[in-house]
């Protein structure tokens, strides 16, 4: 049985899910012993610990030109001391170019089977990847397991399915028969999906697998070779994924350099050198807008970006204000606000929020919001495991600095005890009240657990400001609370015109931060927060070109 035959049913289900947009998950998101085995968690943790202080030698990239690694655990605030093989840009490009000549001729079916098999291998390392993610990003255990394991694997499968479907959208050959009266012209026509070449995937420090695998697998399924350039602070999680891809490639007599890991250090980064290389045709990037915009402007490149944005919450009217405040407080606390979908600007009318029992004043809502933030932080069984740790020292500094924002400080940041990691770098949310006229304050992303309560004249101004922020600064998510159908439609229409998806009236266990594979389009590509959306058809079709050949049919 070929690998494609082995995984064909899964690939077909994934394609069906792409069309239906209903719930589908090929990889279970709960780290349950019944699913993954009684000892899987302990074994994953042991493997992670065994990797510390050693060379990472799983890659099949030979003749390393050096070894380096600068990862630090946000929980321990100590270096991991893992070193990775380092290669120069010319070496990486040369090997990728050579491998491309082999990979581009592998059929779409074979590619799909190989890539799906690699995900099956990655599944066996979800726990190891989870601990690697914890100790590079600061994500709490459950998020680290879900986001870097099952959810990332589902996003990768989504890219495989989307690419596979597009590769098979048109027939590979036909007999073209045109009646000409007394005779017919017959041509044999064939079409080839021609990959563009070398792809560079630039990873981020907070979601090193979830944000990278779509670009990796999207380029690989369409026949391109990939150079994965992880963030120097978060290498191990994606290194484990690349290692499994390389192993499956080698087992199938293919060049493992079809997918390479390109490690660099903070003091000698190679990102620009890779991106600007004339042989690099595709670039995927997650990170800040300044660097993302630089990449988008490079000539001769097809670039897919997810950049920074300013996410808003519009509060108009609610059924249950306590459930709303609890939901939004969780969203801000989740991974200490270090998600590209986390809410920042909360637009609240100065006249208050409508509720069944009467108006809830601006101050009343602010106090409920703050109380819920504190309640979660102070819950020893929940707080540390929701907030996690702060990945970057710069984020910690930004949180402290935000307390100086002009306006009423409703809540200052503080530290808390993590029962498992006494030295964890932590920061609780800051909440500041800001006047609607102070656009210079809230029209930029303040990455981290920072919430701005913006007092507006009315809901119409709230909508206008949220739309303006999305159009000018970009937005990846938006939350809205209203019980008025007319206002709901206005919010939906106005934010859609700013290419921003809206989560309406969320309470309970679903949050505006979260996106589901096979259903939610992550980033729309229609505002300054990014020019691409995974996974829509354009995300994969821009990675290859249709080329047709024809010749007369011989009589």
Integer CA distances (angstroms), 112 to 4, 8, 169, 210, in order: 6, 9, 15, 19
Q: What is the pLDDT of residue 34?
A: 85
d(CA 225, CA 260): 8
C-alpha 124/C-alpha 136 separation (Å) is 20
For 234, 270, 328, the CA distances from 264, given in Å and listed in that order, are 11, 6, 38
Helix (H, G, I), strand (E, B) or coil at 212: coil
Enumerate residues 6+ apart whose C-beta is below 8 A from 333.
Answer: 373, 376, 377, 383, 386, 387, 428, 429, 449
Count the neighbouring beta carbons within 10 Å of the beta carbon of residue 38: 9
pLDDT at 417: 87
CA neighbours closer than 13 Å in the CB half-sphere of residue 202: 24
Q: Give 394's contacts (C-beta < 8 A, 6+ positions apart).
A: none
Check residue 53 and give its pLDDT. Answer: 98
Rounded to whole angstroms, how far apart are CA atoms 466 and 472? 10
Q: Please report where in the chains the tokens 């059929």 appear, as a residue.
A: 107
C-alpha 377/C-alpha 363 separation (Å) is 21
Tokens of 364: 């009343």
User: 3.40.605.10, 3.40.50.880, 3.30.110.30, 3.90.245.10: which CATH number matches 3-23+55-173+196-308+534-545?
Assistant: 3.40.605.10
- Mean pLDDT in order along the chain per 10 residues (555 residues): 97 97 94 90 97 98 97 98 98 98 98 98 97 98 96 98 97 95 94 98 97 98 98 98 98 98 97 98 96 97 96 98 97 96 97 96 98 96 94 94 95 92 95 96 95 98 98 97 98 98 95 95 96 96 98 89
Cite the DSSP H helix spans in 21-69.
Answer: 33-36, 40-51
Distance separating alpha carbons of residues 439 and 433, to the nearest angstrom: 13
- Residue 463 pLDDT: 98
Q: Concatenate the DSSP letters of all residues of 287-323 into one string.
A: S-HHHHHHHHT-TT-EEEEE-----EEEE-B-S-HHH
According to CATH, where is 3.40.605.10 located in the chain?
3-23+55-173+196-308+534-545
Can you list the alpha helix ranges (DSSP code H) found in 383-519? 383-387, 393-402, 439-442, 459-473, 485-497
- Residue 431 β-bridge partners: 411, 451
Give the number of other Cβ atoms within 10 Å of residue 392's Cβ: 19
What is the greatest pairwise CA distance in the chain?
89
**Burial (Cβ within 10 Å: 0-12, 13-18, ≥19) of residue 408:** middle
199 beta partners: 226, 282
Residue 264 and residue 273 in contact, taking contact as beta carbons nearer than 8 Å:
no
Our separate counts of H helices and E strands in the chain read 20, 19
Sign of the alpha-carbon torsion through 512, 539, 205, 403 = negative
CA torsion angle 38 41 42 47 (round to 10): 130
Please give the structure tokens belonging to residue 289: 């807008």
Number of other residues whose CB lies within 10 A of the CB of residue 50: 10
Tokens representing 355 are 């509720």
* Rounded distance between C-alpha atoms, residue 261 and residue 227, angstroms: 6
Parts of the chain belonging to CATH 3.40.309.10: 312-504
SS3 151: helix
Q: In this predicted structure, what is the pLDDT of residue 554?
A: 87
Kindly provide the b/e burial profile for residues 486-516, where b requires at least 16 CB atoms within 10 angstroms of the residue's own CB: ebbebbeebbeebbbbbbebbbeeebbbbbb
**Whole-number Å distance between alpha carbons of 446 and 442:** 8
312-504 has which CATH code? 3.40.309.10
Q: pTM for the full model?
A: 0.96
**What pLDDT score does 258 carry?**
98
Length of the chain: 555
């Amino acid at each position: 049985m070929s690998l494609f035959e082995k995984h064909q049913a899964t690939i077909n289900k994934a394609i069906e899910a792409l069309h239906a947009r209903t719930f589908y998950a090929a990889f279970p998101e709960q780290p349950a012993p019944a699913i993954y085995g009684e000892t899987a968690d302990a074994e994953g943790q042991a493997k992670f610990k065994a990797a510390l202080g050693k060379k990472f030698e799983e890659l099949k990239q030979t003749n390393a030109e050096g070894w380096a690694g600068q990862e630090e655990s946000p929980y321990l605030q100590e270096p991991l001391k893992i070193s990775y093989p380092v290669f120069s840009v010319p070496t990486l490009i040369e090997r990728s170019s050579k491998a491309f000549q082999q990979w581009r001729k592998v059929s779409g079916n074979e590619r799909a089977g190989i890539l799906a098999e690699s995900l099956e291998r990655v599944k066996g390392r979800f726990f190891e990847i989870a601990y690697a993610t914890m100790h590079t990003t600061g994500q709490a255990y459950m998020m680290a397991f879900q986001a870097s394991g099952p959810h990332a694997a589902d996003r990768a499968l989504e890219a495989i399915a989307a690419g596979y479907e597009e590769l098979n959208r048109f027939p590979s050959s036909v007999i073209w028969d045109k009646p000409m009266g007394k005779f017919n012209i017959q041509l044999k026509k064939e079409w080839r999906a021609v990959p563009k070449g070398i792809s560079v995937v630039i990873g981020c420090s907070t979601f090193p697998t979830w944000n990278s695998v779509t670009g990796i697998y999207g380029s690989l399924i369409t026949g391109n070779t990939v150079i994965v350039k992880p963030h120097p602070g978060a290498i191990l999680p994606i290194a484990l994924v690349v290692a499994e891809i390389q192993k499956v490639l080698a087992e199938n007599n293919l060049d493992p350099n079809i997918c390479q890991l390109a490690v660099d250090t903070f003091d000698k980064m190679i990102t620009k050198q890779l991106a600007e290389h004339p042989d690099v045709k595709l670039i995927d990037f997650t990170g800040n807008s300044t660097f993302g915009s630089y990449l988008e402007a490079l000539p001769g490149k097809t670039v897919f970006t997810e950049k920074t944005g300013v996410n808003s919450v519009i509060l108009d009217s609610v059924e249950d204000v306590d459930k709303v405040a609890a939901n939004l407080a969780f969203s801000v606390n989740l991974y200490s606000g270090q998600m590209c979908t986390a809410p920042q600007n909360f637009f609240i009318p100065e006249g208050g929020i409508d509720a069944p029992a009467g108006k809830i004043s601006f101050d009343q809502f602010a106090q409920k919001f703050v109380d819920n933030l504190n309640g979660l932080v102070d819950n020893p069984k929940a707080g540390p495991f929701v907030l996690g740790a702060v990945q970057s020292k710069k984020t910690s500094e930004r949180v402290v600095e935000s307390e100086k924002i002009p306006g009423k400080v409703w809540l200052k940041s503080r530290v808390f005890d993590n029962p498992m990691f006494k030295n964890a770098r932590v920061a609780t949310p800051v909440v500041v009240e800001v006047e609607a006229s102070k656009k210079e304050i809230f029209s930029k992303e303040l990455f981290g657990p920072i919430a701005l309560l913006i007092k507006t004249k009315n809901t119409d101004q709230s909508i206008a400001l949220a739309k303006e922020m999305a159009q000018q600064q970009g937005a990846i998510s938006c939350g809205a609370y209203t019980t008025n159908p007319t206002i709901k439609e206005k919010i939906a229409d106005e934010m859609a015109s700013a290419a921003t998806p809206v989560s309406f009236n969320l309470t309970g266990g679903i949050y505006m931060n979260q996106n589901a594979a096979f259903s939610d389009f992550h980033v729309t590509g229609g505002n300054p927060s990014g020019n691409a959306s995974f996974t829509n058809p354009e995300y994969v079709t821009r990675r290859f070109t249709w080329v047709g050949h024809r010749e007369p049919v011989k009589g």
